Structure 1
Amino acid sequence: MKVLDIHEIGGIIRKVRKERGLRLEDLADDNISPATISNVERGVSHVKMEKVYYILEKLGIPMEQLPEFLLRERDDQAELKFRLTLIESMNRLDQSESALSLLEKTPIPDDHLYASQAHWLKGTCYLHQRKLNKAEREFFTAIRLANKNETAKIDNIEAYSFKDLSRCSYYNNNLQQALQYADSGLDAFCPAGERPWVKYFLLRNKAIYLERLGRIVESLQIVRDVWEELPQIEPVETRLSFYWLRAELLRRSRDYENAKKFALEGIQLAGINQQYNSALALWSVLGSVHTAQKKWEEAENCFKIALGLPRDRVDEKSFLRACTQLGILYTHQEKWSQAEKYLTQAIQKAEQIEDYMDQMDASLALGRLLVQQNRREEGIACYRRVVELAQKYHTGEKEYEAWHELARCWEGIDEKEFQLCTVNMFTVQETLNQRKAGDLNEVR
């Protein structure tokens, strides 16, 4: 009998048993255990068919009536599947409140075929509303239930739940945890299952987390591995994120010509598809490339295009990063007041949305600006704030960078402070080296 048939028969058995008010233990006897009955109801494929027939006989369901039961069950399942699809679509279209309301009107017990999907959908609604603790609880439940349900595994509910858990950790500024969840999602991914695009969401997210952690080579390798598959990736926003990643990573690797090439290709694709947020990110990368090449006018034009896009069509993270990069450009040009204006705006916006990674970037840039103006004490305060944030959110690369800038501030002025900074730099670097060695061992 096909796996689908086993699932359907299991659903019928569960439905009839519950309609009669029977527990698993009530149906069990010396010939069949509660655990075996549970496996049958969940459609576990390795259960022997004689056990299935035995339960049907105990429930008084004649084999000749089974097709009729199956048809009714298929109708019920199809109706429920449609409702869950509707809820998923509503949430993706920014109707999370309505989606949650419909979910509440669709009670699904945890032993149901679609229970893990229902919990995952509830989690995505909470995630959309930034209710991260509630979202995490639902995703953990979805994963637990998916591990007991082969249909959920085929539907890639477990992979999707890990993907969304990684987003929760990212929003909580816990990049190491986000990276672990992304890896777990890739491990759970079923290539032959439903929602195959979740693989690319997970790879994109992993590459972004690595980029934010300063692990440029690893991030770039993921992007290169995916590149041949790029034309088949949907939605286009996900495809564009890989263009942004490749351009940004090449920029940070100082391969400026190729960075420009991929940024411009992405900008063209974003324009055709009216993807404003992707366009902002790509124009910002292009502006940063021109900044690195000291092409000030071209860089400023890129940032003006980026920041001139409709604010209601772009997210706050992309906007504040563009402000930071424009502030850095003005610093290079010694346009001090304009640079301070944009860097301060970026820091304030980052604090407002609790984006501490970007706050650290903007604070480092502001610190350098202030030191260049001989406002050393103010610059030191910026660097110390970065150290605090980096220690709180375990971002060693940013902490090292801040200690390095502090050491430069104290060099030749206060030997004790200078020595303290260099010791802290060494300690942080040792921790980073140990972490990299651990990552290499995991790969092996």
Structure 2
Amino acid sequence: MEPSKIKDMGEAIRRVRKSKGLRLEDLADENISPATISNIERGIAHVNLAKIQYLLEKLDVNMEEIPDILSEQEEESNEIKFNLLTTDVLIDLGNPKDAMTRLDNMKLEDNHPCAAYVQHLKGKAFLSMKKWNRAERCYGLAISLSHQNQNKDNLEATSYLDLSLCFYQQNEIEKALDFVESGLDAFIDGNGRGSIKYTLIRNKVVYLIRLGRNMEALRAIQDIWEEMDKIEDVETVLAFYVARADLLRKTGMIDEAIQYAVKGLELAKTNKDFQNIFHILIVLGRLYTAKGKWQQAENCFNTGLTSQHLLTSETYLTDAYAGYGILLSHQNRKDEAKKMFEKAIINAEKHDNAPKLTYALRVMGDFWKSSGTKLEAIPYYERALEVAQKFHYKQAEYKLYYRLSQCYQDSDQKEFEKCLLNMYKTQKALRGEENEILEDE
């Protein structure tokens, strides 16, 4: 008998046993043990067929009845799956509490085929409510149950994806990256949810960029670029365009970066994706700043900021304010630049975004240092360093120690030497990761 049929048979037997109110122990005797009955119900392939027939006789079920039982079971399963689908939509619509009530009322056992999906949705609801610990526990259960259920519909990979988001939103980027890698390892081609693979890679790129591991992020994008026509989710496609343009900017390939950004902007405009229109305009503003095309850069920043009321997330406003501030600094519009950097810091604080707060504080420090007032820069660098150390952003730490050493070089030899020592220790901890201390972000 095929493994899939054995599993179906096992589910049918479990259904009959439950309907009769019998425990495993109630059916066990000298010919069949509770463990063997459990293996049959779970569809373990090596179970003796004679044992299955014996169990059916004990349950007073004929083999001819199994198709009808399976049909009834499938109908019930489809109804549960539809209820779970609408519950998933309910969470997306911003009603996680109502969704949780529905899920709690389902009362599915762990060996039910939909049990993993229930735990996944509970994790998603808790994630939406920012109840991190509860979300982590539910995703852990979903991963375990999905693995037992042969990772149907790639639910294991999906749960790893959402688990990574749980840690990302807590600014634990290294852990988020680890879970994305686990999701990619768990993903099985042909098992459904094909788009999850590309979402995992997209998030991997984002996390690598946040950690300052830009060359790794660029390689990940280049590896996937030939598959872009397979990606159905336009938002994911746009995210790759944005990331590629910004990474090329950081490596100094400005003209090539502009080409990707413009293509991305056209695609975002066609799909009326205002979030990515805003994001790409900010990237273009930075690119034109790097080329010294002040008017084009300012047009990009102003156009982007004009559309901020259409954003679904305001986290990228930090990038807009910081980028605009850099442009204004180049034009020697110091007061306007300072206000932009202050806005960048306030926005990062408002959204509790540690990577962007680290960056916003750093560029404010750069502003004061470039203005010739190094003492004003030090508090911003030190505060940024505290955030970077708290969340183990080693690349950011290295950049900040470098800047602090510049501030102390002519005024405090002891602090200067301390910064150099910490630069050495941080670089050693990076274990050979790329050293890009002078890029814009």
Normalising by structure 1, we get a TM-score of 0.93
2:334 to 328, 333, 336: 336
CA shift digits 1:319-374 (9 cap, x unpaired)? 22211111121122221221111211111121121101000111000001122334
Q: Report the more deviating stretch, 394-403 or 1-10.
A: 1-10
- Checking the alignment, whether the CA contact within 8 Å between 1:42 and 1:113 is kept in structure 2 is no
Aligned to 1:302: 300
Aligned to 1:360: 358
- Checking the alignment, whether the CA contact within 8 Å between 1:280 and 1:319 is kept in structure 2 is no
Q: Report the more deviating stretch, 174-183 or 96-105.
A: 96-105
User: Structure 1 pair 47/297, CA: closer, same or farther in 2 (3 Å)?
Assistant: farther
User: Structure 1 pair 328/25, CA: closer, same or farther in 2 (3 Å)?
Assistant: farther
Alignment of 1:216-365 (within 5 A): 216-365=214-363
Aligned to 2:415: 417
Report how far residue 256 of structure 1 moved. Answer: 0.6
User: Structure 1 pair 253/28, CA: closer, same or farther in 2 (3 Å)?
Assistant: farther
Structure 2 Cα separation of the partners of residues 49 and 31 of structure 1 = 13
- Checking the alignment, whether the CA contact within 8 Å between 1:280 and 1:314 is kept in structure 2 is no
Structure 2 Cα separation of the partners of residues 33 and 244 of structure 1 = 59
Quick check: 1:170 aligned with 2:178? no
Structure 1 Cα separation of the partners of residues 185 and 279 of structure 2 = 30
Letter aligned with residue 15 of structure 1: R
Aligned to 1:394: 392
Aligned to 1:62: 62
Letter aligned with residue 200 of structure 1: Y
Letter aligned with residue 183 of structure 2: G
Other structure's SS at 1:248 match: helix
- Checking the alignment, whether the CA contact within 8 Å between 1:42 and 1:148 is kept in structure 2 is no
1:384 to 382, 385, 391: 382
Report how far residue 42 of structure 1 moved. Answer: 2.8
Letter aligned with residue 432 of structure 1: L
Quick check: 1:108 aligned with 2:105? no
Other structure's SS at 1:317 match: coil
Report how far residue 48 of structure 1 moved. Answer: 4.2
Aligned to 1:53: 53
- Checking the alignment, whether the CA contact within 8 Å between 2:146 and 2:152 is kept in structure 1 is no
- Checking the alignment, whether the CA contact within 8 Å between 2:8 and 2:43 is kept in structure 1 is yes
User: Structure 1 pair 191/267, CA: closer, same or farther in 2 (3 Å)?
Assistant: same
Aligned length: 434
Aligned to 2:438: none
Other structure's SS at 2:140 match: helix
The unaligned stretches of length 5 or more in structure 2 are 435-441
Report how far residue 156 of structure 1 moved. Answer: 0.6
- Checking the alignment, whether the CA contact within 8 Å between 2:173 and 2:211 is kept in structure 1 is yes
Letter aligned with residue 385 of structure 2: V
Letter aligned with residue 65 of structure 2: Q
Letter aligned with residue 251 of structure 2: S
Letter aligned with residue 38 of structure 1: S
Aligned to 1:142: 142
User: Structure 1 pair 32/220, CA: closer, same or farther in 2 (3 Å)?
Assistant: farther
Structure 1 Cα separation of the partners of residues 131 and 310 of structure 2 = 22
User: Structure 1 pair 218/32, CA: closer, same or farther in 2 (3 Å)?
Assistant: farther
Structure 2 Cα separation of the partners of residues 205 and 186 of structure 1 = 11
CA shift digits 1:217-262 (9 cap, x unpaired)? 2111111111121122122111111111111111111111111011
Q: Report the more deviating stretch, 92-101 or 266-275.
A: 92-101
Letter aligned with residue 281 of structure 1: H
Percent of aligned pairs sharing the same letter: 39
Letter aligned with residue 67 of structure 2: P
Other structure's SS at 1:156 match: helix
Report how far residue 275 of structure 1 moved. Answer: 0.6
User: Structure 1 pair 344/36, CA: closer, same or farther in 2 (3 Å)?
Assistant: farther
Quick check: 1:74 aligned with 2:77? no
Report how far residue 72 of structure 1 moved. Answer: 1.2
Structure 2 Cα separation of the partners of residues 46 and 285 of structure 1 = 58
- Checking the alignment, whether the CA contact within 8 Å between 2:364 and 2:377 is kept in structure 1 is yes
Other structure's SS at 1:54 match: helix
Aligned to 1:9: 9
CA shift digits 1:124-165 (9 cap, x unpaired)? 122223222221111001011112112xx1211100010111
Other structure's SS at 1:155 match: helix
Structure 2 Cα separation of the partners of residues 370 and 342 of structure 1 = 13
Structure 1 Cα separation of the partners of residues 124 and 371 of structure 2 = 47
Aligned to 1:440: none
Other structure's SS at 1:207 match: helix
CA shift digits 1:185-227 (9 cap, x unpaired)? 0111010101111101111111111111111121111111111
